[in-house]
């Protein structure tokens, strides 16, 4: 198995949540439950230069600012597979740091969700090392949600609907496309590649970073490597 991993550069991230929007748009249209905006075809989705949900405003930038959270509420899809969090340090300007972290599923080497699933609905595939769920087997028990330290498993309605999560956009990888989150990032802060190649190209990237606890890394060995941001304040 060739394990693939995400690389995230905290210095390049704009905090715009474009990755979240693109993930929702691609997966909602793929599932066929999009109603608020046009469905994407393969041609329009390959680059995500202007995802349909953004409208005429185009992609955000450091000048135009982040997406309004109201945009995310326009989607039918209740789950949010990729989330951007912000971690603040310092007490008085200008000595304040706000550090972003974009995270979906980390497709861990030792995934807690796979080990705890009572019906073996969650597995790692052999081609990319992606952790995937079989909705036909899932009994919506919530065991994986409780076990995952990254809060990745989600339910539209717990106890009624199967667990859903980031699946590494394997369908896009099979067509030679980048995952929706990677393709859409205006700051090019996200990448996905085989882990050996990632370590070679980004030797300074670490699994432990701002927003990621060392004890959680030791527990599951996530395939997310982060290039940290130089800090002016003590963390």
Query: Which residue ranges form the domains of the chain, and what is each CATH number?
Result: 4-59+69-89+98-227 (3.30.70.20)
The number of residues making up the chain comes to 235
Calculate mean pLDDT across residues 77-82.
Answer: 81
Distances in whole angstroms, Cα of residue 168 to Cα of each of 96, 139, 145? 34, 22, 18
Distance between CA 176 and CA 188 in Å, rounded? Answer: 18
pLDDT of residue 77: 63
Distance between CA 36 and CA 49 in Å, rounded? Answer: 19
Average pLDDT of every residue of the chain:
82
Q: Report the share of the chain in percent with pLDDT over 90.
A: 51
pLDDT-derived band at 123, boundaries 50, 70, 90: very high
Burial 184-199 (b: 16+ CB within 10 A, else e): bbbbebbbbbebeebe
Q: For residue 196, what are its two tokens?
A: 């050996």
Contact at 8 Å (CB) between 186 and 16? yes
Q: Strand pairing partners for 164?
A: 154
pLDDT of residue 39: 40
Could you tell me which residue, 156 or 147, shows the higher pLDDT? 147
pLDDT of residue 40: 44
pLDDT of residue 229: 80
159-204 pLDDT, tens digit each: 899 999 999 999 889 988 889 899 888 889 999 999 999 999 999 9
CA-closest candidate to residue 42, choices 167, 177, 168: 177
| Statement: residue 50 has pLDDT above 60 | no
Distance between CA 48 and CA 46 in Å, rounded? Answer: 6
**19: Cβ contacts below 8 Å, ≥ 6 apart:** 82, 84, 102, 180, 181, 182, 184, 185, 190
Distance between CA 131 and CA 231 in Å, rounded? Answer: 33
| Statement: residue 58 has pLDDT above 60 | no
């Amino acid at each position: 198995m060739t394990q693939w991993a995400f690389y995230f550069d905290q210095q390049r991230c704009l905090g715009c949540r474009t990755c979240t929007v693109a993930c929702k748009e691609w997966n909602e249209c793929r599932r066929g439950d999009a109603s608020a905006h046009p469905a994407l075809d393969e041609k329009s989705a390959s680059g995500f230069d202007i995802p349909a949900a953004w409208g005429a405003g185009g992609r955000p930038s450091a000048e135009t600012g982040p997406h309004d959270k109201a945009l995310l509420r326009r989607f039918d899809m209740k789950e949010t597979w990729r989330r951007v969090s912000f971690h603040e340090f310092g007490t008085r300007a200008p000595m304040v740091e706000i550090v972003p972290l974009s995270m979906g599923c980390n497709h861990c080497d030792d995934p807690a969700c796979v080990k705890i699933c009572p019906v073996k609905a969650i597995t790692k595939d052999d081609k990319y090392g992606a952790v995937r769920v079989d909705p036909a087997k899932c009994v919506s028990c919530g065991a994986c949600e409780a076990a995952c330290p990254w809060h990745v498993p989600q339910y539209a309605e717990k106890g009624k609907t199967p667990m859903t999560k980031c699946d590494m956009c394997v369908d896009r990888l099979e067509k030679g496309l980048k995952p929706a989150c990677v393709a859409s990032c205006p700051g090019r802060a996200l990448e996905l590649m085989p882990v050996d190649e990632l370590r070679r190209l980004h030797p300074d990237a670490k699994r432990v970073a701002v927003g990621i606890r060392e004890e959680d890394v030791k527990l599951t060995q996530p395939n997310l490597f982060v290039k940290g941001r130089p800090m002016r304040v003590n963390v």
